[in-house]
């Protein structure tokens, strides 16, 4: 699909999206005036977050990867030096080399890259220290709990007093301008409901484990200090992004959820998912709601420096309608396919390492749904600099004259091949950070 351009086109799209607000109910049992207003405001915010020239974002990202690799090579010559920072990609090099990271936590905000690069989370807000791992009251959350923290109206940088396992009784409804920062302790969201980012903006989720998320029955759940609403049965997603923008998920470890590990749907955009580790799951990552929702054309997502590891089957990611930069990820032994899509998304795969399983029927990286070859041949799916092991292969499509030029123009450092994906994802997943030394 052609990229949206021009103020008149955006105005038409806004009217189109706004007309859908009364019908976008998600798991909302009662779509009241408060939620309708919130939905309309964040759909407008998503339009403002949309980048007219997504290639500029991918080019800037690739330039920073090249610079980080040069610094890493120089660093390897001095491995014997104590406490030397071994961060290998541009996101990590932005903050992990600071031994005073615990005192400078909010500097993390400067490190987002890709389409979510403007995400600031709780920057310039207060610190909120979670001291209580309980989740006993989802209507009137207890101060000191994670649920009480995320419903506050003001920007907050949420940290944890100690290691804890939080079993959520219902979906955790997160308001705008929040950072959940698990560095320095071990934070598990496990054996209960997952995280929901709905009709909000500017959220960072960093350095937490999310596992064994189950579907919950719903009910009256407080989603802000000023509102409580009736929710239906949840899907059991690890992280659900719905009608939201400027979202950054970094250094999280996710596995074994009832539905998706990370889903972004319903006109969400300006998202980066980076440095995460995914294991033991079927439907890993869904980006785009349905083929019948073309409003997802504004979706722009960067998927970078992640490790797609053991026991994964499909959707790494599965895309619809929008523009998706899948860069420098490490894929191992998918059981069906790695990257898939329908409804003519644009997918740019660069510098990934794809290692297929021994099954001769699962060598293809890509999978296209609900379209004959005569149609999907028009979709822009590009593989550049990817590394293919054990028979893996990527089926490209789209206009031949656009495959290599738009994404390499103005690169001062030539994009490196997927052979570098291992070192770039070396520290994917939750980090064991200790105050006083580089993380």
How far out from the chain centre does Cα 157 lie?
Answer: 19
Residues in the chain, how many? 439
Residues 6+ apart with CB under 8 A from 171: 27, 193, 194, 195, 196, 216, 221, 231, 234, 240
> Which of 96, 315, 318, 368 is flagged as catalytic?
315
Residue 315 falls in the annotated catalytic set: yes
- Cα 62 to Cα 51, 163, 241, 302, 328: the distances in Å are 17, 36, 26, 12, 10
CA distances from 166 to 138, 190, 194 (A): 13, 6, 10
Label the pairing between strands 387-389 and 381-384. Answer: unpaired
Q: Of 180, 163, 310, which is closest to residue 249 (Cα–Cα)?
A: 180
**Which own/partner contact pairs does 213-219 have at CB distance under 8 Å and 24+ positions apart?**
213/189, 213/237, 213/238, 213/256, 213/257, 213/258, 214/258, 215/258, 215/259, 216/168, 216/169, 216/170, 216/171, 216/192, 218/27, 218/29, 218/170, 219/138, 219/170
Nearest CA to 111 out of 206, 39, 3 is that of 206
Give the pair of three-digit tokens for residue 356: 């297929």
With beta carbons less than 8 A apart as the criterion, state whether 183 and 206 touch.
Answer: yes
How many whole angstroms separate alpha carbon 186 and alpha carbon 317? 27
d(CA 55, CA 348): 10
Residues annotated as catalytic are 315
């Amino acid at each position: 699909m052609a990229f949206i351009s021009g103020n008149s086109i955006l105005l038409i799209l806004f009217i189109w999206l706004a007309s859908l607000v009364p019908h976008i109910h998600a798991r909302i049992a009662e779509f009241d005036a408060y939620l309708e207003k919130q939905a309309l405001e964040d759909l407008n915010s998503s339009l403002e977050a949309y980048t007219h020239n997504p290639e500029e974002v991918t080019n800037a990202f690739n330039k920073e990867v090249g610079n980080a690799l040069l610094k890493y090579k120089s660093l390897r010559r001095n491995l014997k030096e104590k406490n030397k920072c071994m961060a290998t990609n541009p996101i990590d090099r932005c903050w992990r080399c600071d031994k005073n990271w615990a005192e400078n936590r909010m500097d993390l905000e400067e490190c987002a890259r890709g389409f979510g690069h403007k995400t600031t989370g709780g920057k310039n807000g207060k610190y909120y220290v979670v001291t209580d791992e309980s989740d006993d009251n989802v209507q009137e959350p207890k101060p000191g709990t994670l649920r009480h923290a995320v419903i506050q109206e003001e920007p907050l940088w949420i940290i944890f007093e100690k290691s804890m396992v939080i079993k959520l009784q219902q979906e955790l409804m997160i308001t705008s301008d929040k950072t959940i920062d698990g560095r320095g302790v071990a934070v598990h969201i496990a054996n209960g409901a997952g995280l929901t980012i709905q009709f909000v903006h500017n959220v960072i989720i960093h350095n937490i484990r999310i596992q064994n998320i189950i579907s919950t029955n719903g009910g009256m759940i407080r989603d802000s200090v000023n509102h409580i609403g009736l929710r239906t049965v949840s899907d059991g997603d690890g992280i659900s992004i719905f009608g939201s923008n400027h979202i950054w998920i970094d250094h999280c470890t996710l596995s074994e959820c009832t539905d998706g590990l990370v889903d972004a749907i319903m006109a969400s955009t300006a998202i980066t998912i980076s440095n995460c580790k995914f294991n033991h799951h079927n439907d890993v990552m869904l980006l785009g709601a349905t083929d019948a929702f073309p409003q997802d054309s504004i979706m722009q997502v960067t998927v970078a420096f992640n490790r797609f590891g053991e026991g994964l089957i499909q959707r790494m990611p599965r895309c619809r309608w929008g523009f998706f930069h899948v860069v420098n990820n490490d894929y191992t032994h998918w059981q069906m396919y790695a990257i898939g899509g329908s409804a003519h998304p644009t997918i740019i795969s660069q510098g990934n390492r794809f290692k297929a399983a021994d099954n001769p029927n699962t060598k293809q990286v890509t999978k296209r749904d609900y379209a004959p070859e005569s149609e999907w041949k028009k979709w822009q799916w590009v593989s550049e600099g990817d590394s293919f092991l054990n028979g893996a292969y990527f089926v490209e499509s789209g206009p031949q004259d656009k495959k290599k030029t738009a994404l390499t123009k103005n690169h001062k450092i030539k994009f490196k091949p997927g052979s570098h994906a291992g070192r770039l994802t070396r520290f994917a997943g939750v980090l064991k950070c200790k105050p006083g030394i580089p993380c």
